[in-house]
Amino acid sequence: MVDQTLLYLSKEDVEKVGITMEEIIEILEKVYVLKSEDKVEMPPKPGIHPSGDAFIHAMPAYIPDLKAAGIKWVSGYPQNTEKGLPYISGLIILNDPETGFPVAVMDAVWITAKRTGAATAIAAKHLARADSRTIGIIGCGVQGRSNLEALMVVQKKIKSVITYDINKEKAEMYIKEMHPVFPKLEFINVKTPKEVVAESDIVVTAAPILKHPNPVIEADWFKEGTFASPVDFDSYWKPSAMALVDKFCTDDRNQIAYYKKLGYFKKIPEIYADLGELVSGKKPGRENKKERTMAVNLGLALNDVSTGIVIYNRAKEKGIGLELPLKLF
């Protein structure tokens, strides 16, 4: 019999570790380069769909350079909001790459929010205009917050944030919470998605992901020079608007192909590049101020496992978390 321990990190423990958004962006950039060099292993995420637009996905990844192997088991239930529950929940399990034994289980909600925002920021570094002044947020939930936080790391000339949510109180709460975080920004709550898209240099749509969406963003709202990050897939963007994109990017081509087989992304432009190609310089990003650009990032297990291993190592150093006995025979 071998005595081993498993480190459990709650959401509060994960936050207590103190990893910053700047660090997460740097971690993901390194991983995207490794991905572009075929130095990682990450199959398209399989999933089950217990009801309606609800999903539970298994997201495994192996990153030899970081000595990181693991999986995220994550769910998204749009109807949870009616029950006072979060849309996203999940766990990340890390394994020792040398033995395969599990070494950690940690809450995935905080990591999912932060790494999703970080992916948007990395895309914006290469696809948004450096002189962008206005960020538009449609969907004032968790992702609306984390995407703004991440974008403010890489976009240095932002002056204002335009917000919209179908729930007016949610949009008002967003501004109440985010303005103290970014006191130099002007926050403007508007009544329609059109006002957000038409007046923004960077647009983030962060509604629930729907297999059969009813998109509302029209082509004539999408002005030249805009960068868009549909965190909610194509739930908000009409095909006619997406067709205007000069450079349509994603975080992983295989995942897009997998989702198309499941019935998502029925009408999207041809993929110009993935984030690995942009970060590594294999393909240029924005090349002029008039280009309309878009990055639909599906969320990679690589992002979760790479962020998770840094959090795990730092938690061990700081003595954060609960060590659970694990009897191995």
Residue 283: both structure tokens together: 């393909």
Q: What percent of the chain has pLDDT over 90?
A: 82
Q: What is the mean pLDDT of residues 145-158?
A: 98
Listing DSSP states for 53-78 in one string gives T-EEEEEEEEEGGGTEEEEEEEEE-G
List the CATH number of the domain containing 162.
3.40.50.720
Q: What is the mean pLDDT of residues 190-219?
A: 92
Residue 97 in domain: yes
Q: How confident is the model at residue 144 (pLDDT cuts 50, 70, 90)?
A: very high
72, 114, 125, 238: the catalytic one is 72
Residue-number span of the structural domain to which 84 is assigned: 2-111+302-328
Q: How many domains does the chain have?
A: 2
Residue 116 in domain: no
Tell me: do 189 and 283 sit in the same domain. yes
Single-letter amino acid code for the residue at 257: A
Please give the sequence-ordered ranges of beta strands (E in DSSP) within 96-224, or none if there are none.
102-107, 134-138, 160-164, 186-189, 202-205
Give the residue among 224, 228, 272 at the shortest CA–CA distance from 248. 272
Tell me: do 139 and 199 sit in the same domain. yes
Angle between helix 142-154 and 168-181 (nearest 10): 30
Tell me: do 40 and 160 sit in the same domain. no
Residue 72 is a catalytic residue: yes
Give the residue among 157, 137, 288, 270 at the shortest CA–CA distance from 224. 288
Tell me: do 91 and 148 sit in the same domain. no
Q: What is the mean pLDDT of residues 62-73?
A: 98
Residue 53 above 90 pLDDT? no
Tell me: do 227 and 80 sit in the same domain. no
Task: For 238-295, write each residue's pLDDT tens digit.
Answer: 999 999 999 999 999 998 988 888 888 888 999 999 999 999 999 999 999 999 999 9
Tell me: do 268 and 226 sit in the same domain. yes
Give kind and range of the element (H or E) at residue 328.
strand 322-328
